[in-house]
Structure 1
């Protein structure tokens, strides 16, 4: 049986705050403890801290990097996918995930949330982690109300809520029968 794949998205290395680093590490830990696979953009900041948290808890990590050279990935990525398509890889990160957790973030995080929104992926934002997560948590991205970006208070709650939502979607047959038409 295929394992659940959770994308952790957020600040890059240059923009990452200490609060976001701590939250990302805890999210990665919780993803691993839940037996899910952590998927991310494979670089620094939130991505690296989430991977480190997962690895410290015997988890499996996948980094989908923009480059064509695996050496760009952070050292905690078990599997590196060299997308070779630059930051368009944000669409692959969102598409690969069964659900998405946002920790802070800037425009790249917005792109991943937008792709997840169009694909009706369950999404959670961690309150107080800053940036895109705080800006869009608890909201829909447009008037179509495809999927709410749920706002939660902690990394543990983020993983729990997301896994519940993924389970409900899988039981209802959602996600596979709903193409991302506008």
Structure 2
């Protein structure tokens, strides 16, 4: 049986120290849940989440925009070199059974949009900044395809995805 995959999205270069700490905890909780962490494979939130997962026995996948493996952070077990720039945001968001947003800018917003349109389970980490705080608790438009749930901590964020995913599976 395939393992649950959780995409972690958020800041790259403009990452705050708080977002790094939150991302580390998210990665740790994903590993404890025996799920696979999927991310954009670069720095900031992506690197911190991967480190949290790796230091707790987890598996990480980095889907990078470049054509060369060396751009990926050192905590990626599997690196997918897309060579397609920001278009890789579609792959990152589509590859998770659920999505956790930690802070983030426009790239994170693109990933939220993809998750929203494909009705993914989306969780925003409260107090992590950026688009996670801007859109947490909301729908992205009037269609109300997927509400972005707010989680106060990493354990709650992963639990929300696990519960919603398992409930969805029961009805398939």
Structure-2 residue corresponding to 1:49: 48
TM-aligned CA deviation for residue 152 of structure 1? 1.0
TM-aligned CA deviation for residue 170 of structure 1? 1.8
Structure-1 residue corresponding to 2:116: 117
Aligned equivalents of 2:14 and 2:171: distance in 1? 39
Structure-1 residue corresponding to 2:8: 8
Aligned equivalents of 1:90 and 1:172: distance in 2? 29
Kindly report which structure 2 residues correspond to 1:23-172, keeping only aligned pairs within 5 A, or say none.
23-172=22-171
Q: Show structure 1 runs of 4+ deviating over 3 A.
A: none
Structure-2 residue corresponding to 1:179: none
Q: Gapped runs of 5+ residues in structure 1? A: 174-182
Task: Provide TM-score, normalisation by structure 1.
Answer: 0.93
Q: Gapped runs of 5+ residues in structure 2? A: none
Report how many aligned residue pairs link the two structures.
Answer: 172
Aligned equivalents of 1:113 and 1:171: distance in 2? 25
TM-aligned CA deviation for residue 169 of structure 1? 1.6
Aligned equivalents of 2:169 and 2:117: distance in 1? 17
TM-aligned CA deviation for residue 32 of structure 1? 0.2
What is the CA deviation profile of residues 63-93 of structure 1, one whole-angstrom value per residue up to 9, with x for unaligned ones? 0000010100000000000011111000000
Q: Give the secondary-structure state (helix, strand or coil) at the position aligned to 2:24.
A: helix
